[in-house]
Structure 1
Amino acid sequence: MSSPASPGSRPEPVLNSAALQGEALDDTPVPRKRVVSWAMWDWATQPFNSVILTFVFVSLYLISDSFLPADVAAENADDSLVCSRTADAATGYCQGLSDLAEWYGWVAFAAGILVLLLAPVLGQRADARGNKKRWVLGGTIALALVQFALFFVYAEPLFFWLGAILVALGSVASEIAGVNYNAMLVEVSTPRTIGRVSGLGWGLGYIGGILALVLVVALNAVSWFGLDVSDGLAYRLIAVGAAVWTIVFALPFVFNVPEAPASADRPRVGFFRSYAVLVHDIVALFRDHRPTFWFLIASAVYRDGLAGVFAFGGVLAAVSFGFSANEVILFGIALNLVAGISTIVAGRLDDRFGARAVIITALSILILSALFVFVFREQGKAVFWIGGIILSAAVGPAQASSRSLLARVTPRNMQGEVFGLYATTGRVMSFLSPLLWAVFIGVFGATHFGILGIVIVLAIGLVLLLFVKLPKHVRVKN
């Protein structure tokens, strides 16, 4: 099988977005206020990812006994059941939680299909019409409204579906906004600074997640100032707080980041005709920008592995290593802190050594760290803390450098469309980590074997990336 690379007879190009696009190198400095305002969008939307999706609302509230029938929830009134134990797994209580997790998964799958169908076409239309910023704002407003609406997800079984659908719609809004936000990276950076600007955005996002989780811990510590939150009110108020956070911290992006002009050479067609244009563009991308095409495929695989690290990290902490709810949140804070700092630092390494080198290094560290946790798991919580910290230090740089590398090798007039494909290919491959996670646990009968499933996904992505013949990185000096 031939390697996913450009024909060897062609001269090896230089990794420079302007050169790839046949344009003069433009290294005109971008005002710092504009750069920081763009990066603040990552900060503004991070509570949805860290608080709503990952560590608090979904994992500790939506998929919990708050949404089980009263008689089923009463089976664990003394908190004695541990659903990872074979003897307990068959109880009505554990089966009920399993059903909630499955139903939530199907709703999330439907959201992924929506992103799959919409993201590249909407990105393409934003390129042609010059309204990327408007799509970011529209998606951000929708995300805020969804978080406000979560206040009405009361702790009763009937409201589970409302919560699951709202969270899924929030994911769609976040993805659509993120496609156009990512596509604006080349408009707020130069060939010399694109890596550090991308890293700044990811880093601020992680740090925003830290602060949001710290606020949750602080509110728990003061018992919500005596407020009765036994009916799920605490989690519903957290969702409202996340909505307010999103609106307030998105304002710098609204006021300080200008809308990009339309691409004159991109077709402006109707919505359904856009799909025909999309197919034509994918064929052209394969023919004329093959490194970009193959990078989309390789990154889709390893990005699913990166998502698996965070998606199942909390489960491993709670089930395999015995972390309490507060310990899971504190673990999330530590992971976001390390990931935020390492991502900002790695942004400079990206500009100096190239995004591909950063990604390869990060993936290698991730694989070794995960294997470390698996091999030494019987040593207890300390091993998971050490391995988790190292893992988080590598996840952020891999994500940020993937974004900057794609921006570098994508034609300027296709940024929105290609970043839409970036989101779409990630969705297409998003079944890999959950699938291998479940298969390994099912075959070997223990949750910690799921780690090996994630390792395999990361390893496959790394191998695919090594075969992609990307242009050489040339550092653009001051």
Structure 2
Amino acid sequence: MSSPLKGQTRAGMAAISTRRRIWGWFFFDWASQPYNTLLLTFIFGPYVKEVLGDGTAAQSAWGFGIGAAGVVIALLAPVLGALADTSGSRMRWIWIFSAMYVAGSAGVWLAAPDDFNLYLILFLFAVGLIGMEFATIFTNSMLPDLGSRDEIGRISGNGWAFGYVGGLIALILMLAFFAEGPNGTTMLGQPPALGLDPAAREGTRFVGPLTALWFIVFMIPFFLWVREPRSIRPPKGAVMLALKGLAGTIRSLPGTPSLLAYLASSMFYRDALNGIYVFGGIYAAGVLNWSVVDTGIFGLLAIVLGAVFAWIGGKADVAFGPRPVISASILALTVAALATVFVSRTSVFGVPVDAASRLPDITFYAIGAVIGAAGGALQSASRTMMVRQANPHRMTEAFGLYALAGKATSFLAPLSIGTVTYLTGSQQLGVTPLIVLFLVGLFLLRWVKPYGDRAAAWDAQPSP
């Protein structure tokens, strides 16, 4: 697919105001967030478990499918980033991976309960997930083009907050008008909209086409307003140049101790954060006997707080820098993970309660609020910190390495939680590995310099 934006120059960028380019960049977060909110977490994942019937088999299949996609992302992300830096074109890659996002998400419509092809559905889901992750690498690498060093924290935070709002609205639309419950009606008590057949689960399966349409519509501002800072013809042997450059970057990591420490730190704390997101609903269902409605409200609360605190975190990022924001967020998430261990249907922090008491539910909602708030601020500040640590001339490659760090140990949280749960026979004790992962990430953060190993290069950069 060729981009109509090819050939844009700095003169073309100047024709579009900085404010509009920033808003265009925000719209990628808004457009892509439903893949996480609707497909990965709150709607399609639980639907797969429901169709397969066996929760253990469904969770295993889901884990293997996402894990396989993670391996592809881990292997190719830094290579693609290096190639984009060498060829000078990121927009072309965003078009390609956007097409994968749309094809993969729309394809999950085929997950009919009476003709459910698990391998096909997992393949389509993985295609969309890979498209989203790769497109995110290239859009993240555009962040330093949008503002000065002191402005990018606020820009990153506002982008995350805007994306969270998009995911929230998409989730509300799904729950209110499409996703049918056991009685065949939505949360509004009505049949699925557009005449979709609840008996065939068409309302819930519409999550795929809705996610694809949402992305198509809301990527329009991105492609209209976002421009590359430069456009050059790819040199001969661009692939080999990219691979050599990537190999050199990896070999040089010991010589950039701040970048190396940050990649290692983020590898652990982002894995723990993903573990909280993936297992939070399962924990609530198993330990507190929550219904889908309860879990949905929990999700809405976490998303709202995530959006608000991504915005607040962006303000704090500008005022104090990303490292204090990251440290405070990790501490809050560690406390939340620890508190989770002491909440059950019959006790809260060691105090016995009646099985019909709402105190455990209220407490877990409060924990969810902390997770949403700290998670939003953490993800926003992490993106800003990566910009500060990276070589400004190889930014896309750096975000490829950042994606690799995020996927290289993505098995740790689910595997350790599964192992501890199996050995102890307790879902509560099963989440304790998350505490360890957060603390390891926080410990490694002490070697991360606020402006990375190239502070002088930062100071020499002109503002856009």
- TM-score band, normalised by shorter chain: 0.7 to 0.9
Tell me by how many angstroms 1:409 deviates: 2.1
Question: Structure 1-normalised TM-score?
Answer: 0.83
CA contact (8 A) 2:301 2:368 kept: no
Amino acid at match of 1:325: V
Aligned position for 1:353:
320
Residue in 2 that maps onto 1:212: 170
- For residues 101 and 272 of structure 1, do their structure 2 counterparts lie closer, same or farther at Cα, with a shift above 3 Å needed? farther
The reply to whether residue 63 of structure 1 matches residue 82 of structure 2 is: no
Q: Which residue of 2 aligns with 1:152?
A: 110
Alignment map for 1:26-425 (pairs within 5 Å): 31-59=18-46, 61-64=47-50, 66-67=51-52, 96-156=54-114, 158-219=116-177, 220=186, 221=188, 222-225=190-193, 227-261=196-230, 269-271=237-239, 274-287=242-255, 289-377=256-344, 378-379=347-348, 380-425=360-405
Q: Secondary structure at 1:345's aligned position in 2?
A: helix
CA distance in 1, matches of 2:247, 2:451: 25
SS of the equivalent of 1:189 reads coil
Task: State the 1:267 CA deviation.
Answer: 7.5
Give the structure 1 partner of residue 354 of structure 2.
none
Does the CA contact (< 8 Å) of 1:199 and 1:397 recur in 2? Answer: yes
Q: Which runs of 5+ in 2 are unaligned?
A: 1-15, 178-185, 349-359
Q: Is the 8 A contact 1:67 1:157 kept in 2?
A: no
Deviations 1:191-210 (A, max 9, x none): 12100111111111111111
Letter in 2 for 1:327: D
Deviation at 1:469, TM superposition (A): 4.1
- Deviation sequence 1:385-439 (CA, Å, 0-9, x none): 0111012110111111111011022121110001000001111011111122112
- The AA in structure 2 aligned to 1:408 is R
1:212 and 1:465 map into 2 onto residues whose CA distance is 35
Alpha-carbon distance between aligned partners in 1 of 2:210 and 2:370, rounded to the nearest angstrom? 30
Offset of residue 104 of structure 1: 2.4
Kept in 2: contact 1:366–1:395 (CA 8 A): yes
Deviations 1:58-110 (A, max 9, x none): 22x1122x235xxxxxxxxxxxxxxxxxxxxxxxxxxx331222122222222
Q: 2-side partners of 1:372 and 1:37: how far apart?
A: 39
Q: Is the 8 A contact 2:259 2:448 kept in 1?
A: no
Q: 1:168 to 1:281 in 2, by over 3 A?
A: same
Is the 1:440–1:450 contact (alpha carbons within 8 Å) kept by the matching residues of 2? Answer: yes
**Cα distance change on mapping 1:263 and 1:428 into 2, 3 Å:** farther
Following superposition, the deviation at residue 270 of structure 1 comes to 4.6
Change (3 A) 1:376 1:53: closer
Shift in CA distance, 458/109, structure 1 to aligned 2, threshold 3 Å: same
Choose between structure 1 and 2 for higher RCO, CA contacts under 8 A separated by at least 6 residues: 1
Answer whether contact 1:206 1:340 (CA < 8 A) is retained. yes
What does the per-residue CA deviation read over 1:238-257, in whole Å, with 9 as the maximum and x for residues that have no partner?
21111110110111100000
Deviations 1:284-307 (A, max 9, x none): 2432x3311221111111111111
Task: Indicate if the aligned counterparts of 1:57 and 1:235 stay in contact, CA closer than 8 A.
Answer: yes
C-alpha distance in structure 1 between counterparts of 2:336 and 2:57, whole Å: 32
The aligned length equals: 418
> What residue identity is the alignment partner of 2:213?
V
**What is the one-letter code of the residue matched to 2:273?**
L
Task: Measure, in 2, the Cα distance between the counterparts of 1:229 and 1:178.
Answer: 34
Cα distance, 1:30 vs structure 2: 6.6
Contact 2:44 2:204 in 1 (8 A): yes
Amino acid at match of 2:268: V
The one-letter amino acid of 1:323's match is W
Partners of 1:118 and 1:268 in 2: how far apart? Answer: 21
CA 1:182–1:355 in structure 2 vs 1: closer, same or farther (change >3 Å)?
A: same
Bigger CA drift: 303-312 or 219-228?
A: 219-228
Q: Distance in 2 between matches of 1:330 and 1:158?
A: 29
Secondary structure, counterpart of 2:112 in structure 1: coil
RMSD: 2.4
Q: TM-score by structure 2 length?
A: 0.85
Amino acid at match of 1:306: L
CA distance in 2, matches of 1:445, 1:464: 31
Q: Which amino acid aligns with 2:216?
A: I
Task: Please say if residues 314 and 380 of structure 2, whose CA atoms lie closer than 8 Å, have aligned partners that are also in contact.
Answer: yes
> Tell me, what secondary structure is at the counterpart of 2:328?
helix
User: Letter of the aligned partner of 2:62 in structure 1?
Assistant: Y
